Chains A and B, each alone.
Chain A
Amino acid sequence: MARPKRPIVRAATTTGKPTAASKSDALVTAKSSLPENTDRPVSSEPVAPSASPRCPSPRLTTLLSIAIAAHFTLIGISYLSTVAASSVQADLLATFGPYLGAAHLDAEQIPLTLSSDSASEKTHQLLQTRSLRPGDEDWTSIASPGIRGGDRQRRWQRLLAATAELGENEEGILAAWLMLPIAQRYPDATQIRIDREPDITTMPTDTAAASPYRASIVRDNGSVRLVQVPPSRLTAPSTEPAHD
């Protein structure tokens, strides 16, 4: 901020009352203390809002200013809470939930970071098989809608990522609710599973890992159920001696 050209104390006389000269000084002081703003108009005299047709009334200006400050404070808190929300952030966002939620302004559950190398960012693939023989499945891929990288495919990937995460967290029932409408569209399918496609950053151990979600499709008198197939786990050999 530029320093005032004259000492501010000269704005008042010895009697404490401003004179015409001191008012002029105050105006010069006010003009010179304005920050160098690239968007400033040629004339930098402070104009009372009500005198300018380009500005709202003083009362409306005050109300709008308060609204703007509150609005961006909430937006900032919402965006910053996408990493990890503190209890203060969570309480504030919950209090203003009707505003943020209804206007779709909150970033809840939306990762703003470009990438965090999490499993949910991998390319997911949905596969189905018609085989009934365990170990002899002939898995075929269910094509994702749209073009690669397009909006349709992006939504499909988000669904598969969410389902895979539920499967990994052993929330098979919730994953089944998401997959059931798809299973109903493939009346011959006996199992479905979601795989994560290996890419250049995938570790060999991740490649060998079991599918995050796999389920058998049980059809009974027109109703369809999905039963999650638990992943095979590595177990240590039994320590009990073999009985003859």
Chain B
Amino acid sequence: MTDSTLAAAQSTAVSAWDRFWFYSEHGATSLQVVRIGLSLIAAWYFLSHWADIGLWFAGDGILATEQLGRLIEAEDLVDQYKWRLSPLYWVESTVLLRIYLAIGVLLAIAACVLHTTRAAAVLLWLWCVWLANRSLVISGPEELALVFGLAYIAIASPENPFHWATALARRLIQVHTTLLVVITGLTMLASMIWWDGSGSLSLAAPVGRRMLDVTGMLESLWLQDLVTHLLVLTAILAPIAIWVKRTRRAAQAVLLVWLLLVA
């Protein structure tokens, strides 16, 4: 290959990459829906802590700073958790903790409503990160998803739907969500229950932790096996199929059903 054709090929590859990450094709409508949805979820996240924040994080709480520090040191987890920074480790008053939550709710509303500045979205993200970082032992994958979603939304331009930052934010959300769901599917394969067909029952069995009891629907062994295999296949294949135009609608519908089932 000659130098000029190599340069042309490289230019093409760079352009495709740039086009994927920085070209804003869709209007702001799609990101606005995501922004409002994530802000509402963030508001709910803060409100859900309201009743128990003192029980968890106050000076005499279950996860009081001193107590948690001793636990982490005793379990030799200092290196793992030393970067989970949060100003809430210095707050022991239930009143101040509730003020923090109230500010979080206001920031969530502001992020929905304000279209002239990124400040509200950035602050909302920080507020969620700090609460999630404080919630060692009791946090889960829902905080993980909320935090990265808010981070990417904060990158988008709130006033210009055609700005490259908006396109970048949309792609970051799409790629990260794809990665999360696909890897969830891959990690499921580490457990035998997702091979031998009993995974669906294992997921539904702890009825005390589920809003709905669906174990009655899984009495048939054949249905158990089918649902188990579909859960794994959907997690691995549907996020990839979404990227193909021909299969996008079907993959979105299947993934939505999957999310409702596992939630």
Contact = CB atoms under 8 A, between A and B. Distances in A.
Contact of B137 (A9, A75, A102, A159): A159
Nearest to A202: B205
A154 B109 CA distance: 25
A201 B211 contact: no
A51 B67 CA distance: 57
Given A12-B2, A41-B23, A148-B211, A47 B205 contact: no
Interface string B116-135: 00000000000001001101
B253 interface: no
B164 A30 contact: no
Interface stretch (B28-36, B89-97, B98-106, B181-189): B181-189
A123 B188 contact: no
B199 to A, nearest CB: 6
Contacts of A244: none
Interface residues of A, number: 89
A12 B248 CA distance: 41
Chief secondary structure at chain B's binding surface: helix
A114 interface: yes
B62 A181 contact: yes
A54 B24 contact: yes
A41 B24 CA distance: 10
A201 B52 contact: no
A49 B18 contact: yes
Nearest to B68: A177
Given A39-B23, A201-B198, 15 more contacts: A11-B4, A16-B2, A30-B8, A34-B15, A34-B16, A46-B11, A68-B21, A79-B179, A103-B147, A105-B148, A113-B188, A113-B190, A121-B202, A149-B211, A199-B207
Interface of B: 1-2, 4-5, 8-9, 11-12, 15-25, 44-45, 48, 51-52, 55-56, 60-62, 64, 67, 70-71, 74-75, 79-85, 129, 132-133, 135, 137-144, 147-148, 151, 162-164, 167-168, 172, 175-176, 179-180, 183-184, 186-188, 190-191, 193, 198-199, 201-203, 205-212, 215, 231, 235, 244-245, 248, 262
Interface of A: 8-9, 11-12, 16, 18, 22, 26-27, 29-30, 33-35, 37-41, 46-47, 49, 54-56, 61, 64-65, 68, 72, 75-76, 79-80, 82-84, 94, 97-98, 100-105, 107-117, 121-123, 125, 145-155, 157-159, 162, 171, 173-174, 177-178, 180-182, 184, 197, 199-201
